[in-house]
């Protein structure tokens, strides 16, 4: 699979096979901050077979943008594949430039769904999914920070402060 390599302005400058990228190549990823009517957020535990951050808890949905995709088309595809969320109409959130093991732009989206929506996790990608309240998630960040993706606490702080004004998907 080829992925776009971008410059510091997020302009595509080429494509590489994912396995051929180096640590200085800047790529594009997406993340979905998924809320319910109780003001809980859905998090997903990455599959234990994942090559990057196996078993860690992160956003409900995330993906690497591939050749021919936009940020929005990627998050819509990933939401259906990873947790069975159909007819997603994501609301554009912030885009952040970050560097962890790799350099990337992370485009966030938000959406609110009913807590009884029949989510179906993709076993090869997602080990577990769980709704977290504000208190539960921040208590877990303090007590067991090593079970979460390194940047998740910063993202959670942002999104809980900026409660979504997103439209419901079903």
More confident residue, 65 or 123: 65
Strands (DSSP E) contained in 19-88 are 26-35, 41-46, 57-59, 61-64
Q: Please give the pLDDT value at position 53.
A: 86
**pLDDT confidence tier of residue 8, bands split at 50, 70 and 90:** very high
- What residue ranges in 88-137 does DSSP mark as E strands? 91-99, 103-112, 126-132
pLDDT for 170 beyond 60 = no
Closest CA to 35 of 134, 131, 119, 112: 112
Q: Tokens standing for 65?
A: 């943008």
- In degrees and rounded to multiples of 5, residue 78 shows phi and psi of -65, -40
Q: How far apart are CA 39 and CA 160, in angstroms?
A: 9
Does residue 167 have a pLDDT over 50?
no
pLDDT digits (tens, 9 = 90+) for 28-83: 999 999 999 998 999 999 989 888 888 999 999 999 999 999 999 999 999 999 99
Q: What is the pLDDT of residue 166?
A: 45
| Domains assigned to the chain | 2-161 (3.90.79.10)
pTM over 0.85: yes
Short-list 88, 48, 46, CA closest to 63: 46
User: CA-CA distance, 158 to 35, in Å (whole number)?
Assistant: 14
pLDDT tens, position by position, 131-166: 999 899 999 999 999 999 888 888 888 887 765 544
Helix (H) or strand (E) holding 153: helix 152-161
pLDDT at 168: 46
Do 78 and 65 touch, CB atoms closer than 8 A? no
Task: Please tell me the predicted confidence (pLDDT) of residue 163.
Answer: 59
């Amino acid at each position: 699979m080829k992925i776009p390599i971008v410059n510091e302005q997020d302009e595509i400058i080429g494509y590489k096979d994912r396995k051929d990228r180096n640590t200085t190549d800047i790529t594009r990823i997406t993340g979905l901050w998924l809320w319910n009517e109780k003001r809980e957020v859905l998090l997903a535990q990455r599959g234990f077979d994942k090559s990057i951050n196996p078993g860690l808890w992160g956003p409900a949905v995330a993906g690497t943008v591939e050749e021919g995709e936009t940020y929005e088309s990627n998050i819509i595809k990933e939401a259906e594949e990873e947790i069975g969320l159909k007819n997603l109409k994501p609301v554009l959130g912030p885009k952040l430039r970050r560097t962890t093991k790799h350099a990337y732009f992370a485009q966030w989206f938000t959406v609110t769904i009913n807590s009884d929506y029949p989510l179906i996790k993709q076993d090869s990608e997602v080990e577990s999914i769980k709704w977290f309240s504000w208190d539960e998630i921040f208590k877990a960040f303090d007590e067991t920070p090593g079970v979460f993706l390194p940047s998740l606490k910063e993202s959670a702080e942002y999104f809980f402060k900026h409660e979504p004004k997103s439209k419901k998907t079903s």
